[in-house]
């Protein structure tokens, strides 16, 4: 059994912040470092624009929250914080006093990899050179649930695909149609499984479970001792992770302010 505590939360949220940093670096993006966490701007309406890992390495002052707000607002973005329940209580109180409201919840899951057997994944594989656009389009189609993606929608997948250290995976139906995608990044023995997306019409066919297993195979081969992922509470994605031995350790909340 894995016990959810502050050191584990710092490890997982620190890896989430590293993923967020990795999606920046292109023209128009920006990063603000904040006591082990960070705020990322990737576009005023981009879901990658957020503050991650704040409040887990000591107190966060109201002045620091105001600085993060300015970072977002001067770029035309609404301030958004991904808040771990083990963050500094005063930080959470400051957000409440400044009018923030919860917008979304995500369950954070982990799995120890000791004893995990390598699984066969005939429909899932690592993407290869030249497939970045295919991978980005597949992620976008599953996320936005339409096939005619705008350039801004495609850019979300592209930002992940070009992340330093990111390993992208694709899954295909028995007829060879690419219908699901996901990514993996490793930080200090912790395998982060993220960007899971299955195109509508191809769900409930086991493609997501194979993508999870394929990334666990990769993580084991690279010597990782733990894996983590986050999902919408009670979702099919959460059930797939739980079927493969993951357990929920806490629920992260997205807190949004005004523009």
Strand partners, 185: 192
The parent domain of residue 37 ranges over: 6-107
Distance in angstroms (rounded) separating the CA atoms of residues 120 and 234: 26
Same domain, 82 and 151: no
Question: Per DSSP, which regions of 113-244 are E strands?
Answer: 124-126, 167-172, 178-187, 190-198, 226-231
pLDDT at 227: 98
pLDDT at 179: 97
Each residue of 78-133: pLDDT tens digit? Answer: 999 999 999 999 999 999 999 999 999 999 999 999 999 999 999 999 999 999 99
Same domain, 88 and 149: no
Task: Read off the pTM.
Answer: 0.95
pLDDT at 82: 98
Is 231 domain-assigned? Answer: no
Q: Are strands 124-126 and 167-172 parallel, antiparallel or unpaired?
A: antiparallel
Is 258 domain-assigned? Answer: no
Same domain, 71 and 129: no
Q: Taking a C-beta distance cutoff of 8 angstroms, is the pair 78, 259 a contact?
A: yes
Same domain, 69 and 100: yes
pLDDT at 1: 76
Same domain, 97 and 120: no
Same domain, 152 and 102: no
Same domain, 66 and 133: no
From 107, 129, 155, the end of a domain falls on 107
Q: Taking a C-beta distance cutoff of 8 angstroms, is the pair 105, 231 a contact?
A: no
Strand partners, 254: 82, 104
Is 240 domain-assigned? Answer: no
Is 47 domain-assigned? Answer: yes
For residue 175, what is the domain's CATH number?
3.40.630.30
Distance in angstroms (rounded) separating the CA atoms of residues 202 and 179: 6
Same domain, 123 and 86: no
How many structural domains does the chain have?
2
Per-residue pLDDT of the chain (259 residues; tens, 9 = 90+): 788 899 999 999 999 999 999 999 888 999 999 988 999 999 999 999 999 999 999 999 999 999 999 999 999 999 999 999 999 999 999 999 999 999 999 999 999 999 999 999 999 999 999 999 999 999 999 999 988 999 999 999 999 999 999 999 999 999 999 999 999 999 999 999 999 999 999 999 999 999 999 999 999 999 999 999 999 999 999 999 999 999 999 999 999 998 7
Is 250 domain-assigned? Answer: no
Same domain, 92 and 184: no
Is 255 domain-assigned? Answer: no
Is 62 domain-assigned? Answer: yes
Same domain, 214 and 135: yes
Instruction: Outline where the chain has alpha helix (H).
Output: 6-22, 62-73, 89-97, 132-144, 151-161, 207-221, 236-243
Is 64 domain-assigned? Answer: yes
Distance in angstroms (rounded) separating the CA atoms of residues 20 and 232: 18
Same domain, 77 and 122: no
């Amino acid at each position: 059994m894995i016990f959810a505590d502050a050191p584990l939360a710092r490890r997982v949220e620190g890896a989430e912040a590293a993923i967020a940093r990795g999606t920046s670096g292109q023209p128009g993006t920006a990063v603000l470092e904040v006591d082990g966490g960070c705020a990322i701007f990737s576009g005023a309406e981009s879901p990658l624009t957020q503050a991650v890992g704040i409040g887990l390495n000591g107190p966060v002052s109201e002045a620091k929250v105001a600085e993060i707000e300015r970072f977002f607002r001067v770029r035309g973005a609404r301030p958004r914080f991904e808040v771990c329940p083990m963050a500094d209580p005063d930080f959470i109180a400051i957000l409440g006093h400044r009018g923030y409201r919860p917008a979304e919840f995500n369950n954070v899951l982990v799995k120890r990899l000791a004893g995990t057997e390598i699984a066969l994944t005939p429909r899932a594989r690592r993407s290869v050179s030249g497939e970045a656009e295919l991978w980005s389009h597949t992620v976008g189609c599953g996320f936005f649930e339409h096939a005619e993606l705008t350039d801004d929608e495609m850019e979300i997948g592209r930002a992940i695909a070009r992340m330093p250290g990111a390993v992208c995976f694709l899954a295909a139906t028995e007829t060879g149609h690419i219908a699901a995608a996901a990514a993996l990044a490793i930080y200090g023995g912790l395998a982060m499984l993220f960007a899971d997306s299955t195109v509508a019409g191809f769900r409930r066919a086991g493609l997501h479970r194979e993508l999870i297993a394929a990334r666990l195979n990769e993580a084991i081969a690279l010597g990782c001792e733990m894996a983590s992922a986050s999902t919408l509470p009670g979702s099919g994605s959460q059930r797939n992770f739980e079927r493969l031995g993951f357990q929920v350790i806490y629920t992260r909340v997205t807190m949004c302010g005004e523009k």
